[in-house]
Every structure is written in structure tokens, then in C-alpha cells.
Structure 1
Amino acid sequence: MASINMACITSLSSNFKTLSLSSNSYQKPLTFSSNISQSFFSQGHQSLTIIRRPHNFSVVCEVATQKKADSAVKRARQAETRRLRNKARKSEVRTRMRKVMEALEVLKKKTGAVPEEIIPIETLIAEAYSAIDKAVGKGSLHRNTGANRKSRLARNKRAVAIHHGWYTPAPDPTSA
């Protein structure tokens, strides 16, 4: 991490046409437009940000003609923090839904299943509902999206119960 930071800073200060990163994960150097001159960069503001993530990281180099206002910098920082939080919440929702769907699929394919085998799946469904409700409450998901996802889980659970004969839907009174 430190070698990338130093390489980026050194490259920024010495040559603005090519930005080289000394890391094994980068094969090609990042390039700037050839018509941008050194004087353009000397008039403005340069910033280097390294965003750390669990499995990888990103190097963000920004060059602006004027220094951003402190409120704009704070807003950008807040937006990035919120984006990462929302991404984590949505990922948790998708993971929990996937686990429920996989468990329901296994139970549906199983021959001779008994109704008690759906109890652990109901626990998984409750955890998925909780994750969905948290994401909706925090604003990561729209409330209709949350309702649709919860409905999808319930529909698939009911389809498995109907498939095994544990549940028989009531006849529709309007069709009679």
C-alpha cells in the first residue's frame, strides 16, 4: 500500500502525463490527456485518496482548477461512506435471500420430506426479513422493494409447501 502511495505522489509531482503505480495488480499505467500542461496543474488543487475495501483498494487522484469548498469535500466524504454502508446492507439482503432460496430448492427436490423440515428455513426467512426491514428503515432499499422481496420469499415457501402437500390454498371465492 505504501509503495503505491509513494509511486502515485512521486509520479504526480514529476510527470503529469503518465501516472505509474508500482504494484503487481496494475498492468498498465493510468494516463492523462497529453494537452494538459504542468502549468494547469500548478494553478489548481491536487488530491490523492486511497479507498480501502475488504478485498481490494482503489486509488483516486483528483485534480481541480480550484480548491473545493470544505462543505463539498465533507459532502463527498459522507456520500462515499453512505455508499459503502448501503452496499453492505444490500449485499447482506441478497446473501440472506440466496440462502433461503437455496434451502427451499433443496427441500423442494427432496422426496419424502416432512413438514418439520421447513422450521430451519423459517428461521432463515425471519433473518432475511430482519435484514430487509433494516435496509428499508435505513433507506438503503425502497419500502416497495423490501415488500417485494419479502413477498418473493413467502411465495417460494408456500410453493414448496404446496408441492409437498403440506398446504392447500383456499379456493378463490370470486371465481365461484
Structure 2
Amino acid sequence: MAKNPSAIKRIKTSERNRIINRKYKSVVKTLIKRCLLNIDNLESSSLNDVQSSISQVYSKIDKAIKKGAFHPNTGARKKARLARALSYAQKKQN
């Protein structure tokens, strides 16, 4: 265990940030899974439901980037994968 007061403070700060980041990441993963299920069931659910779930995921990803839980490129990659999945599902449906 660290004895230096600044090191002790840094350990506490990093632990607090780790817990906060874990919450953001967990919420984003859950929303992405739900969104992908909606995209897979596109013919049974309406396109508006899928669009609203995607916008909700985008919002959470952007907030996670803003708070520092995700690197900006990671957020962009996650959003691009969702957009690509929706595009493929729409092409398959038509």
C-alpha cells in the first residue's frame, strides 16, 4: 500500500473513476445489445422504434466520450457499427 499522501489520493481517485467508467460502459453495452435485437427483428418492429433506440445509444456513447469513459475513436467505431448493421438490415428487408 502506498504511504505517500498524494499516491493515496491518486488511488482513491482512480478507483472512483473506474467505477464511474464501468457504469457508462455497462449501460452502453446493454443498449447496444437491445438495439441490435431491434435491428434483427426489423420486419416485426417499426423503423421508428429502431431509429429511436439508435439515437438513445448514440446519446449515451457521446456522454461516455464526454466523461472520458470512452476514447473518441472507440465511440465513433461503436456508432459506425450500429449504423452499418441498420443499413444491412434495411437492404436485406428490401
Higher strand share: 1
How do 1:1-176 and structure 2 match up within 5 A? 64=1, 68-107=3-42, 110=43, 117-165=46-94
- Which runs of 5 or more residues in structure 2 are unaligned? none
SS at match of 1:163: helix
| Residue identity (%) | 34
Q: CA RMSD in A?
A: 1.6
Specify which structure has the higher proportion of helix: 2
Note the C-alpha offset of 1:145. Answer: 0.8
Instruction: Give the aligned residue type for 1:157.
Output: L
Instruction: Kindly name which structure, 1 or 2, has the bigger radius of gyration based on alpha carbons.
Output: 1
Q: How many residues align?
A: 94
> If the length of structure 2 is used for normalisation, what is the TM-score?
0.91
**Which of structure 1's runs of 4+ aligned residues deviate more than 3 A?**
none
Q: Distance in 1 between matches of 2:74 and 2:56?
A: 17
Partner amino acid for 2:83?
A
The CA distance in 1 between the partners of 2:48 and 2:88, in whole Å, is 15
* Equivalent in the alignment of 1:25: none
Q: Which 5+ residue runs of structure 1 have no aligned equivalent?
A: 1-63, 166-176
Report SS of the residue matched to 2:60: helix
1:72 Cα deviation from its structure 2 partner: 1.3
1:102 & 1:142 partners in 2: Cα distance? 25
Q: Higher relative CO (CA 8 A, sep ≥ 6), structure 1 or 2?
A: 2
Which TM-score applies when normalising by structure 1?
A: 0.50
